[in-house]
Amino acid sequence: MEKISFSNIAVVSCGTLSMEIKALKDEGFLDTKHIFFTTPGLHENIKELESQLISKINKAKEVCNKVLVVYGGKFCYVNANEPLRTMDVIIKEQGPNVARIQATHCIDMIISKEDREKAAQELAGGEKVWWMTPGWVKFRKFVFKGWDKGLANENFPRHTGGAIVADGIGFMEKYMNEHPEEFLEYCDWMGIPMQPYEVTLDRFKNLLLEQAKKLNEI
């Protein structure tokens, strides 16, 4: 894997991915001193998402002249009132020294669509799967803020293959062992089983490197 420094780049990330970001920092891959997180699960509140994202980018600009945004595009920001206002439009407005990781959402940053399809075939016989990252488990109260059992019943059971957590940090094994009742309650609330799927963070690293390289060329 190509080695590129992030030392002159500030990272602004959705808090849902904070565990993966911190893991990459701990192993020395992300050698930046400047990481800013928005509240997890803001895709449910795009007005607050946009406000926090721009605020964090502005704070990042105060310490670095290059900013890498870790937010998905297609699924993280959907503005029904202004369909042409997309995540890429927001990022472009922040200036040429601000780049966004090229993925549709956090799950896509961790595991590609092709690998998700293969895993669904392997673990769920090709049935429809509800994909999550560890952050969707740890930050459940934020990610599913305002969801009651009725809304859960409308969304989750249609995923007959259950929920699969793409775990590149070993979170789920520890979570299930230390909080078994909480894990079972979560599955009961969703109305579908949940299982971990071990992955590496290589895809995430490569996507980050791709944007860091572009920023370093500016």
pLDDT, tens digit, for every residue of 43-83? 889 999 999 999 999 999 999 999 999 999 988 988 988 99
| Interval 181-201 mean pLDDT | 97
Instruction: Supply the pLDDT for residue 44.
Output: 84
pTM (whole model) above 0.85: yes
Amino acid at 155: N
Which part of the chain has CATH 3.40.50? Answer: 10-107+201-217
Residue-averaged pLDDT of the chain: 96
CA nearest neighbour of 14 among 55, 71, 90, 61: 71
What gap in Å lies between CA 32 and CA 143, rounded to an integer? Answer: 27
Query: pLDDT of 146-160, one tens digit each?
Result: 999 999 999 999 999
For residue 89, what are its two tokens? Answer: 């439009």
Q: Which fold has domain 10-107+201-217?
A: Rossmann fold (3.40.50)
What gap in Å lies between CA 49 and CA 143, rounded to an integer? Answer: 12
What gap in Å lies between CA 96 and CA 94, rounded to an integer? Answer: 7
Query: pLDDT of 165-180, one tens digit each?
Result: 999 999 999 999 999 9
